[in-house]
Amino acid sequence: MPEAFEFHVIGELRGVDESLLTDEAFVRDALVRSVVEAGLTLFDVYVHRRGEGVIGVAVIGESHVAVHTWPEHRIVTVEVSSCKDPESTWEVFALLREAFGAESYSAVDLRSGIALMESLKGAAGAVG
Protein backbone atom coordinates (compact mmCIF):
# COMPACT_ATOMS: atom_id res chain seq x y z
CA MET A 1 0.00 0.00 0.00
CA PRO A 2 1.46 3.42 -0.91
CA GLU A 3 2.32 5.85 1.89
CA ALA A 4 -0.06 8.56 0.59
CA PHE A 5 -3.07 8.94 -1.65
CA GLU A 6 -1.73 11.82 -3.70
CA PHE A 7 1.68 13.18 -4.59
CA HIS A 8 2.35 16.82 -5.44
CA VAL A 9 5.27 18.79 -6.84
CA ILE A 10 4.89 22.56 -6.62
CA GLY A 11 7.61 24.63 -8.16
CA GLU A 12 8.89 27.58 -10.09
CA LEU A 13 10.90 27.67 -13.31
CA ARG A 14 13.09 30.76 -13.63
CA GLY A 15 15.02 32.38 -16.46
CA VAL A 16 12.64 31.24 -19.20
CA ASP A 17 12.61 32.83 -22.67
CA GLU A 18 9.79 35.41 -22.62
CA SER A 19 8.54 34.41 -26.08
CA LEU A 20 7.66 30.92 -24.77
CA LEU A 21 5.69 32.39 -21.89
CA THR A 22 3.19 34.14 -24.16
CA ASP A 23 2.77 31.29 -26.65
CA GLU A 24 -0.45 29.37 -25.95
CA ALA A 25 0.37 26.64 -28.49
CA PHE A 26 3.78 26.07 -26.90
CA VAL A 27 2.29 25.84 -23.40
CA ARG A 28 -0.36 23.37 -24.61
CA ASP A 29 2.28 21.24 -26.34
CA ALA A 30 4.58 21.28 -23.29
CA LEU A 31 1.72 20.10 -21.06
CA VAL A 32 0.67 17.33 -23.45
CA ARG A 33 4.21 16.06 -24.01
CA SER A 34 5.14 16.08 -20.32
CA VAL A 35 2.02 14.14 -19.31
CA VAL A 36 2.28 11.58 -22.11
CA GLU A 37 6.05 11.05 -21.74
CA ALA A 38 5.62 10.51 -17.98
CA GLY A 39 3.10 7.74 -18.69
CA LEU A 40 0.09 9.52 -17.22
CA THR A 41 -3.43 9.49 -18.68
CA LEU A 42 -4.31 12.72 -20.49
CA PHE A 43 -8.02 13.59 -20.55
CA ASP A 44 -8.00 17.21 -21.72
CA VAL A 45 -5.93 20.40 -21.82
CA TYR A 46 -7.22 23.92 -21.30
CA VAL A 47 -5.01 26.91 -22.12
CA HIS A 48 -6.02 30.54 -21.71
CA ARG A 49 -4.18 33.80 -22.26
CA ARG A 50 -4.50 36.06 -19.21
CA GLY A 51 -2.90 39.48 -19.38
CA GLU A 52 0.67 38.98 -20.55
CA GLY A 53 0.87 35.35 -19.48
CA VAL A 54 -0.75 32.01 -20.14
CA ILE A 55 -2.55 29.63 -17.78
CA GLY A 56 -2.64 25.97 -18.75
CA VAL A 57 -4.23 22.97 -17.06
CA ALA A 58 -3.98 19.35 -18.11
CA VAL A 59 -6.71 17.21 -16.62
CA ILE A 60 -5.26 13.73 -16.19
CA GLY A 61 -6.71 10.45 -15.02
CA GLU A 62 -4.46 10.65 -11.99
CA SER A 63 -5.34 14.33 -11.12
CA HIS A 64 -3.94 17.47 -12.84
CA VAL A 65 -0.96 19.50 -14.04
CA ALA A 66 -1.16 23.31 -14.00
CA VAL A 67 1.19 26.03 -15.23
CA HIS A 68 0.97 29.80 -15.00
CA THR A 69 3.45 31.90 -16.95
CA TRP A 70 4.77 35.30 -15.89
CA PRO A 71 6.68 36.70 -18.92
CA GLU A 72 7.44 40.00 -17.18
CA HIS A 73 9.42 37.99 -14.60
CA ARG A 74 10.54 35.14 -16.94
CA ILE A 75 8.90 32.66 -14.52
CA VAL A 76 6.57 29.68 -14.82
CA THR A 77 4.80 28.36 -11.74
CA VAL A 78 4.04 24.64 -11.89
CA GLU A 79 1.78 22.33 -9.91
CA VAL A 80 1.78 18.60 -10.61
CA SER A 81 -0.64 16.41 -8.69
CA SER A 82 -0.98 12.65 -9.18
CA CYS A 83 -2.32 9.67 -7.29
CA LYS A 84 -0.03 7.34 -9.29
CA ASP A 85 3.37 7.70 -7.61
CA PRO A 86 5.91 10.36 -6.59
CA GLU A 87 8.25 9.48 -9.46
CA SER A 88 5.72 10.42 -12.15
CA THR A 89 5.04 13.81 -10.54
CA TRP A 90 8.76 14.60 -10.54
CA GLU A 91 9.09 13.32 -14.11
CA VAL A 92 6.37 15.70 -15.33
CA PHE A 93 8.07 18.58 -13.50
CA ALA A 94 11.46 17.67 -15.05
CA LEU A 95 9.96 17.42 -18.53
CA LEU A 96 8.31 20.84 -18.16
CA ARG A 97 11.58 22.29 -16.85
CA GLU A 98 13.35 20.94 -19.93
CA ALA A 99 10.62 22.10 -22.35
CA PHE A 100 10.71 25.66 -21.01
CA GLY A 101 14.52 25.67 -20.89
CA ALA A 102 14.59 27.06 -17.35
CA GLU A 103 17.92 28.48 -16.19
CA SER A 104 17.05 27.58 -12.59
CA TYR A 105 14.17 26.19 -10.57
CA SER A 106 12.90 25.41 -7.11
CA ALA A 107 10.32 22.83 -6.09
CA VAL A 108 8.82 21.09 -3.10
CA ASP A 109 7.34 17.63 -2.76
CA LEU A 110 4.11 17.25 -0.80
CA ARG A 111 2.03 14.20 -0.01
CA SER A 112 -1.64 14.15 0.91
CA GLY A 113 -3.92 11.52 2.35
CA ILE A 114 -1.26 10.25 4.76
CA ALA A 115 -3.61 10.14 7.78
CA LEU A 116 -6.22 8.33 5.69
CA MET A 117 -3.62 5.77 4.58
CA GLU A 118 -2.62 5.19 8.23
CA SER A 119 -6.28 4.73 9.11
CA LEU A 120 -6.73 2.18 6.32
CA LYS A 121 -3.59 0.31 7.39
CA GLY A 122 -4.94 0.17 10.95
CA ALA A 123 -8.33 -1.07 9.77
CA ALA A 124 -6.72 -3.72 7.56
CA GLY A 125 -4.61 -4.90 10.50
CA ALA A 126 -7.67 -5.13 12.75
CA VAL A 127 -9.58 -7.22 10.21
CA GLY A 128 -6.70 -9.48 9.14
Catalytically annotated residues: 63, 68, 83
Query: CA-CA distance, 85 to 91, in Å (whole number)?
Result: 10
Burial of 57 (0-12, 13-18, 19+ CB in 10 A): middle
Instruction: Please state at what angle helix 24-37 crosses helix 86-100, rounded to 10 degrees.
Output: 150
Cite the beta strand spans of the chain per DSSP E.
6-14, 42-50, 53-60, 63-70, 75-82, 104-112
